[in-house]
Structure 1
């Protein structure tokens, strides 16, 4: 009885040389349960050939890295499978030899399918009346891993992983085809970069780092044999468990196999087996919560990068596809944030806003002419740990509030799902800019009463904050004093819908049902309160919108990166609607209003800051007249407060930087900031611009033309 399996195995060897038919026969004999399912009819040469071509170019999922602006300091990583692709030349010969000894001793002799291995497995399986031994070569194993990694549908995942004879036959055929396309070295390299070693370590680079805190090039014989042993069963042979008995036995078995294959001398193997397994475990960071503590505030920047990434069509058709690309695409992402400006932002927000306060005080700075993010800071700690927050609610049920303090990961500064904060009179920029672009002049005058009744806006009658604002106003004085009735009248002249559409062109988005209703084309003409900033906005939006004014009417989309590289080191690109290829990290800009209109708006915006406009007069006083003295150079901007000072803003800019700061309670907009804290955003912007531009040459604003002055 015992000779019958051996005789059968002997008959199989000639059949294997016949190619695919032999593979089907072997599969049917080795897996009798599936023999009656008509496997041959399901295996088509065309499908096999197509998948083999895919595998020839397919690469496994790879970790993406987020770098500080120096392009060297890793802030965090994004991955589903922690992996960094490594060339075979950068791997120690020890790991190459150990994996061959462990998994496929005849790797260099066979052509993808090993007849002797199949015969040996068939005998073992026949004796055990089951599947006690496999016959998968390294090439077949790689095919299985690559099919799994390249699967895009649940059906493909199932086909790649199901324990059936059909899958085995497919692997055999594709392994033989693949060996005609790739060299042994290429297959071994791909295998070692695809294999799972446990502890979320995918590929030899991750395994070397996680278990031994070193690169694959530096692995010793003992370390290599230990890692090679994990592929068969990552949990069973895990050396990080308290009992290393099985891990040591498996390692020693592989050392013996390396000796048998001539990779190790008997004495070297004996010496290696006497050594204990000494681990130096490391735990790679993943996602924004893993940003190092010394870079904590950059966690908010990291979070914005993710939100920005998820909105880029270049990375997929929807948010899920784009985030999958981030976690599997092996990108190298370099931030555009300037460390000096970020430090200034953190310092000047931190000194003016208590981390434990319910009022969030934040600031965002962008670069006019590029839209690149230069700083983002808020008086919160970036952390998932909400312990100690009395408002965080039942941890099992989730937090009751969006922006817990002192800890939060809420996107308080822009780029996420939060609607933002009412921005008050900072919105007066939009009707003024629209009016200037439509041909009105800076000297457009109106005798602004304390209260103004608007017939266009259905009898709405807003008033000024002070009786001292009444009287004849121009754009300079009206903007400098923030005269509500002047700007309601001005908005009537140009059309509220024109101001709304311009704000959209400058990057504002309507996130609440109320705002979307008023901004709709059918309703925008009667949205008189738009000029008073009743809509929600984020600091990022406001900084970038005012940045377009500083850039003389050229709006650039906000972008948090200076470079994005593919896994092969080439810049990541996207294709425009016109078919032109452009780098994703390059600024995307367009002229929104004329340069002269933007210069005129800038001239008027110098009045609120205490600066002197180039062409007109500010009317004697302004709402933030300390800013010019603090910044020490030409500066423009606008204050903004809402009813009862529930929130307060200041948006300011120089030719080099645009900054927006706010203070508000994100969780309770009815919790008024109060007049006593309304100066906080003014100081935050002024001090940050001063510190950020220290030692930089002073640049002047370009004056507007005579025609637009009027």
Structure 2
């Protein structure tokens, strides 16, 4: 009997200890310098800096959305699927359910709940483990904000480490946050930061993924289900086959909502009997998830990613820029025109479908802006290449898969692909350089079938046909694609000048051979440059020829109409001169004189069967069907390589420029053959025809007398 009072005293020890420690903690977080709590030399000033940074910069990562020009949502980019949602757009029942589930005294405390601290300590002491937590909604928000604003692995670790130091810091910052922010603002940020499982970060994503709804449409039962997930998204996952735990957690939240007066007792009881109904959706992510209806836009989407990763406006390097795309909450509208894209898709692969080893693609660019209006190729944009055949390239690994019918390779340009030998489409560059240097279109030369170049150390190119021999001008030489005339013309103007001009018009050298030949040391002797021995992509050639259509004004290729930030303002960058410009605005510069470009266009009407304004084409041309197909003034140039391993056509009107190729991207030894040389011609001509249907006919501006001769 004498031992009973002592036993009773022992039973009171945990309670006494709880009250004492709770008091110490509350006192510690309220005191300006928390040295007694283990923070050591950290001062109140350091806490204030954390708080200021938190309040100023800690917005959670948001999903970026990609739209077609007509407003159709194509895909999204995200690491954390989230769309920030104002509290006014979140159902009141969702706000109430979260308070009931996570912090029922949210509206009574000032960031730290002393009663909650004491209650948790008692529960944890008596259970011998961690059965309750003491984190308020404000403290949880602080933790998530510190994590989201972390810029180093150490900062992430500090924000999430299971230590007393972290807990004390959260308490102190929670007190500071509540001095600066309203309860409504804190709850809004918390609801947008919380993780609900299944890649759902924030309430918008949770409502979409679990119920295919917007947050403002959630019912009390759905709200309770989602609020119950935050404590343990995997344990209470309602998508699993056994929903017992999810239902139990939901019913607990409904019961708490009834106790707090958010629901009447009868309503809370009734709602707990409802079955759990999930309407799950799987949000799109990245280019491969574009709906099948818009599958070919996957190539334009892929180009967008590559373009984005090269823009300094979004970061110091490629990794930073892609991270910004996946976390920045941008709204991106592609420049692809639905009508022109439809025309391009219809006309590529007219002879070769997706199952052909020969890729036939077309890119359409807008003169004067550089905006890409269409990208189409006879392939399906897909990561699934299991059923693709093995490549037939004798130099490749026999186990390597070919890129048809499925591929995500940048076959049209804008990525790492070197491109395809461009053939005589390159004759445009020495001609344009010569015109810009003042040489007239009438510049003539008696071009032999075979020509020995002393400038190029005795190199002796020849024409494709003996019928090309004889006196040629730029009109006739370009229309018939006379090799010996253009080697001679390149000698006169300088091969290096033609190479540098091509670079100014957007061409890049991606193979070791091309980079070596284009170097300042070797460019002067690169006689074969005019014959198109270098690789190029249809994106590059469409954009280069678009500059000629725009009177010599080159605009960088750009895949977007607009890019807006999460706050609805246009994304901008600062120029070297200090001016702030919108990232999505065209970036243009005059590369050659307008008169030189107009003269080049006059000669480029000859290959298409069109009639130049000032000269004569000499009787025949390499693509004389184009003018009749397009039905309006049109210029352009054909191109074929040795043994017709690849064939090209680049054509343009004052409104649009289009480049098409046909080649085997897997095996350059697999020649497309002369019979396929008409395929890119037809693709461009019919695409321009369909794209410009019902548009007013515009003529090219003729060159001045100075460049006619």
The TM tier, using the shorter chain, reads: over 0.9
Report how far residue 403 of structure 1 moved. Answer: 5.3
Deviation at 1:52, TM superposition (A): 1.3
Q: Does the Cα contact within 8 Å between 1:550 and 1:653 map onto a contact in 2? A: yes
Q: Distance in 1 between matches of 2:412 and 2:43?
A: 55
Say which SS state the counterpart of residue 77 (structure 1) adopts.
strand
Equivalent-residue separation in structure 2 for 1:8 and 1:565 (angstroms):
55
Shift in Å at residue 20 of structure 1?
A: 2.7
Give the Å deviation of 1:131.
3.2
> 2:433 maps to which residue?
434
Q: Is the 8 A contact 1:371 1:556 kept in 2?
A: yes
The reply to whether residue 360 of structure 1 matches residue 369 of structure 2 is no
Matched, 1:260 2:259: yes
What CA distance in whole angstroms lies between the structure 2 residues aligned with 1:442 and 1:361?
Answer: 33
Q: How does 1:193-272 map to 2 (within 5 A)?
A: 193-272=192-271
Alignment of 1:359-398 (within 5 A): 359-391=358-390
- 1:318-467 aligned within 5 A: 318-391=317-390, 401=400, 404-467=403-466
With over 3 angstroms needed to count, the CA separation of the structure-2 counterparts of 1:363 and 1:27, relative to structure 1, is farther
The answer to whether residue 584 in structure 2 is matched with residue 585 in structure 1 is: yes
What residue number does 2:126 align with? Answer: 127
What is the aligned partner in structure 2 of residue 160 from structure 1? 159
Tell me whether 1:528 sits opposite 2:533 in the alignment: no
Counterpart selection for 2:20 from 8, 11, 19: 11
Q: Describe the shift of the 1:392–1:453 C-alpha distance in structure 2 as closer, same or farther (beyond 3 A).
A: closer
Could you tell me how far apart the structure 1 residues matched to 2:451 and 2:62 are?
62
Superposed displacement of residue 481, structure 1: 0.5
Residue 302 of structure 1: CA displacement? 0.9
- How far does residue 124 in structure 1 lie from its aligned partner after superposition? 2.0
How much has 1:16 moved relative to structure 2?
5.0
Aligned residue in 1 for 2:61: 61
Shift of 1:15: 4.3
1:496-507 matched pairs, under 5 angstroms: 496-507=495-506
Contact 2:28 2:36 in 1 (8 A): no
Q: Where does residue 4 of structure 2 map in the other structure? A: none
Q: What's the CA shift string for 1:41-94, capped at 9, x where partnerless?
A: 1533233222211221321001010001023x1001111111111000000111
CA–CA distance in structure 1, aligned partners of residues 579 and 367 of structure 2: 25
Structure 2 equivalent of residue 182 of structure 1 = 181
CA contact (8 A) 2:32 2:44 kept: no
| CA spacing shift, 1:640–1:569, aligned 2, 3 Å | same
Does residue 99 of the first structure (1) align with residue 108 of the second (2)? no
Q: Which residue matches 2:116?
A: 117
Cα RMSD for the two superposed structures: 1.7
1:20 and 2:19 correspond: no
TM-superposed deviation, 1:8 = 2.7
1:12 offset after TM fit, Å? 4.5
CA distance, structure 2, for counterparts of residue 617 and residue 67 of structure 1: 47
Which 5+ residue runs of structure 1 have no aligned equivalent?
Answer: 29-38
Q: Work out whether 1:47 is the aligned partner of 2:56.
A: no
Cα drift, residue 265 of structure 1:
1.1
- Alpha-carbon distance in structure 1 between the residues aligned to 2:328 and 2:407: 28
Contact 2:30 2:172 in 1 (8 A): no
Task: Report what 1:2 is aligned to.
Answer: 11
SS class of match (1:545):
helix
Structure 1 residues 435, 403: CA separation in 2 closer, same or farther (over 3 Å shift)? farther
Q: Deviations over 1:346-399 (max 9, x none)?
A: 011132322111000000000000000111100111111113222169xxx999
C-alpha distance in 2 between matches for 1:267 and 1:23: 47
TM-score (norm 1): 0.96
| CA shift for structure 1 position 555 | 0.2
Structure 1 residue 24, shift from structure 2 partner: 9.2
- 1:114-133: per-residue Cα shift (whole Å, max 9, x none)? 11111111222222344332
User: Which residue in the other structure is 2:89 paired with?
Assistant: 90
Q: Which residue of 2 aligns with 1:137?
A: 136
Which position in structure 2 is the counterpart of 1:31?
A: none
Separation in 2, partners of 1:116, 1:25? 21
Distance in 1, Cα, partners of 2:342 & 2:228: 48
C-alpha deviations, 1:432-475, integer Å up to 9, x for none? 00111111111111111111111111111100001111111110
Report the Cα distance in structure 1 between the residues aligned to 2:328 and 2:66, rounded to whole angstroms. 13
State the shift of 1:19 in Å.
5.0
Counterpart mapping for 1:664-675 below 5 A: 664-675=663-674
> Is this contact kept in 1: 2:351–2:679, CA < 8 A?
yes
Name the structure 1 match of 2:145: 146
What is the CA–CA distance in structure 2 between the aligned matches of 1:156 and 1:388, rounded to whole Å?
45
Aligned to 2:624, the other structure's residue is in SS state coil
Structure 2: where are the runs of 5+ without partners?
1-9
Q: Deviations over 1:650-677 (max 9, x none)?
A: 0000000000000000011111010011
Q: Any conservation in 2 of the 1:403–1:409 contact (CA below 8 Å)? A: no
Secondary structure at 1:350's aligned position in 2?
coil
Deviates more, 1:50-59 or 1:314-323: 50-59
What residue in structure 1 maps to residue 626 of structure 2?
627
Match of 1:616 in 2: 615
**1:62/1:330 contact within 8 Å kept:** yes
Report the Cα offset of residue 169 of structure 1.
Answer: 1.3
Report deviation, 1:11.
3.2
Shift of 1:27: 9.7
C-alpha distance 330-399 of structure 1, shift in aligned 2 (>3 A): farther
CA displacement 1:278-320 (0-9 Å, x = unmatched): 1111111111111001111111111111111111111111111
CA change 1:513–1:456 in 2 (3 A) is same
Q: What is aligned with 2:7?
A: none
Corresponding residue for residue 34 of structure 1: none
Q: For 1:564-585, what per-residue CA distance to the aligned partner results, in whole angstroms no more than 9, with x for missing partners?
A: 1111111111111111111111
**In 1, Cα distance between equivalents of 2:34 and 2:146:** 23
For each residue in 1:95-115, what CA deviation from the matched residue of structure 2 results, as whole angstroms up to 9, or x when unmatched? 101110111111111111111
Deviation at 1:4, TM superposition (A): 1.6
Pairing 1:557-568 to 2, within 5 Å after superposition: 557-568=556-567
CA distance in 2: counterparts of 1:377 and 1:598, whole angstroms? 28
Decide whether aligned partners of structure 1 residues 426 and 368 sit closer, same or farther in structure 2, where only a CA change above 3 A counts.
same
Query: Is residue 2:552 matched to residue 1:553?
Result: yes
Measure the CA separation in 1 of the matches of 2:271 and 2:494. 83
Superposed CA deviations along residues 226-262 of structure 1, whole A, max 9, x for unmatched, are 1000000000001111111111111111111111111
Cα separation, partners in 2 of 1:50 and 1:398, compared to 1, 3 Å: farther
SS at match of 1:41: coil
SS at match of 2:126: helix
Q: Given that residues 389 and 401 in structure 2 are in contact (C-alpha distance below 8 angstroms), is that contact kept between their aligned partners in structure 1?
A: no
Closer, same or farther: CA 244–602 of 1 in aligned 2, 3 Å: same
Post-superposition CA distance 1:514-539 (Å, at most 9, x none): 00000111111111100000000000
